[in-house]
Structure 1
């Protein structure tokens, strides 16, 4: 049916209202359909030309690095095959069942920093700076730099001013993804020392659909400042779901069987220097915490 016929239809007013409602409020689609975009386009800095080279021309061939990489992959494969003979994750079964605390990341040497990546709005033309180094006696990790919320003058970017520290994706043999299994724990445990700024802790689980690629569970980390360390324990039930910085209405609890990465983001719009020192990051089992999920979950087909 053409648009002109719809306009002359006696129910055109009703159809127009429905069309306007769906256009202005996509979340009102029938069945609670997910309106997040299904395709993903890599970010390109405004003004930067497109890279139209074919994929095979972007590969850098190096025979020496190839031989070294094969040897490293064979060692990982050997560990991957022998660890299950000892127990889950290479630990005896009794130790795995009685485990109540686990240190996942600790910083005891330069090789520990290779597991992390630092980024800031400088990648999109901003002026913030972030650096990562070992603390005193090589026993801690120090994230420091300067935050600047002034957006770049490219005519497109309106907001800026962030710095991020994120762990790299765990890989097993032949660069296959592997995940953290924290189903035996219910609390995130950190020992940090900050400068009084509020941070955002981000947990990225493995997703089953491509449009959930940017789904991240987040919660707040409030640092006290000063020379004293603070032990922070955050239950996993407190983490809320967000997608590209927007909190989602359809909330559900975090699946702890496949955790990919953890990250720390600063974006409080306060220009000036910052620093965050981390001793260790771990998980623990808190028997006093019995909450399953802290937020309301909507049922698409509620029981009558």
Structure 2
């Protein structure tokens, strides 16, 4: 009886083939998973060491504890009283007819406590940024020096930014509180700069954890000179970015859950800069009827 000859592959060759297929499988993942999902995870700035701090901080101080309790119960009482009067403590009719609202104005040293500063010094850079009141104590003066030289840590490739950002508003017992700008459609600024372009960043509350680094951005062009300029930017012009990268999927700014607003300078022009701000507010422009300036993609288009 004639039997066909069976060729057997060596075990080494079989293992190499299996290993080859295992290497090919992960390469097909980016074809089905969106790029944004692949970059999620614990984010660490280049040049910064990994933090191993505990998520809690205990500080036993009896006097500060009594002051904190008194402060938070006062805020809680104010929250209940404002709800009886109307939204944000204003009568309902006044809230409905309101067309302009000043959110931040700089009229004393306590107004500067609502803002935080940061620069590339956090990652080893050399830029400097400062904030102070002007001589007449009616405006704030943001100034410093921009330096785009990256630190020599072998990891950071780009540097050179300075940022001024508002603090997250808090209610009683350190609960998050949001700015509600749903009655307005335009951001109103009165500034005086030195001709540099700035980036305005608005952060909102999000539902999902992978959206925590999303920002709504738009440009602020200062013309320089001794004259003030009133800048009005519709909220429909703000676009979404994630960790400094503009996203393909754009969506409308969530106006009733505003957390913070910030100003960032990073135009790669080394040297001194200055920006003077009178007030930051919102207004209702009835002549502006645009809902959103960018195209919205439908994942399941209608047939």
Shift of 1:43: 4.8
The separation in 2 between residues aligned to 1:106 and 1:270, in whole angstroms, is: 29
Shift of 1:4: 3.1
Shift of 1:44: 7.8
Shift of 1:257: 1.1
Q: Find the counterpart in structure 2 of residue 171 from structure 1.
A: 170
Q: Find the counterpart in structure 1 of residue 246 from structure 2.
A: 247
Q: Find the counterpart in structure 1 of residue 180 from structure 2.
A: 181
Q: Find the counterpart in structure 2 of residue 94 from structure 1.
A: 93
Which runs of 5 or more structure 1 residues have no equivalent in the other structure?
9-15
Q: Find the counterpart in structure 2 of residue 35 from structure 1.
A: 37
CA contact (8 A) 1:38 1:210 kept: no
Q: Residues 76 and 221 (structure 1 numbering): CA distance in 2 closer, same or farther, change over 3 Å? A: same
Q: Residues 38 and 153 (structure 1 numbering): CA distance in 2 closer, same or farther, change over 3 Å? A: closer
CA contact (8 A) 1:241 1:251 kept: yes
- Are 2:61 and 1:62 aligned? yes
Q: Find the counterpart in structure 2 of residue 13 from structure 1.
A: none
Q: Deviations over 1:232-291 (max 9, x none)?
A: 000001000000000000111111110000000000000000010000000011111111
Matching of residues 260-275 of structure 1 within 5 Å: 260-275=259-274
Q: Find the counterpart in structure 1 of residue 84 from structure 2.
A: 85
Matching of residues 82-161 of structure 1 within 5 Å: 82-161=81-160
Q: Residues 67 and 36 (structure 1 numbering): CA distance in 2 closer, same or farther, change over 3 Å? A: farther
Shift of 1:19: 6.3
Which runs of 5 or more structure 2 residues have no equivalent in the other structure?
1-14
The separation in 2 between residues aligned to 1:142 and 1:3, in whole angstroms, is: 66
Shift of 1:65: 1.8
Q: Deviations over 1:37-92 (max 9, x none)?
A: 4433455844x4x5545455x43332222221111111111111110111111000
The separation in 1 between residues aligned to 2:120 and 2:260, in whole angstroms, is: 20
CA contact (8 A) 2:46 2:156 kept: no
CA contact (8 A) 2:47 2:153 kept: no
- Aligned partner of residue 203 in structure 1, secondary structure: strand
The separation in 2 between residues aligned to 1:5 and 1:40, in whole angstroms, is: 32
- Aligned partner of residue 211 in structure 1, secondary structure: helix
Q: Find the counterpart in structure 1 of residue 291 from structure 2.
A: 292
Q: Deviations over 1:159-181 (max 9, x none)?
A: 10000000000000000001011
The separation in 2 between residues aligned to 1:276 and 1:61, in whole angstroms, is: 41
- Aligned partner of residue 264 in structure 1, secondary structure: strand
The separation in 2 between residues aligned to 1:281 and 1:157, in whole angstroms, is: 34
**What's the Cα RMSD here?**
2.4
Q: Residues 129 and 301 (structure 1 numbering): CA distance in 2 closer, same or farther, change over 3 Å? A: same
The separation in 2 between residues aligned to 1:214 and 1:162, in whole angstroms, is: 17
Q: Find the counterpart in structure 2 of residue 221 from structure 1.
A: 220
Q: Residues 259 and 36 (structure 1 numbering): CA distance in 2 closer, same or farther, change over 3 Å? A: farther
The separation in 1 between residues aligned to 2:281 and 2:52, in whole angstroms, is: 43
Name which one, 1 or 2, has greater alpha-carbon Rg: 2
Q: Deviations over 1:137-161 (max 9, x none)?
A: 1100110000000001111111100
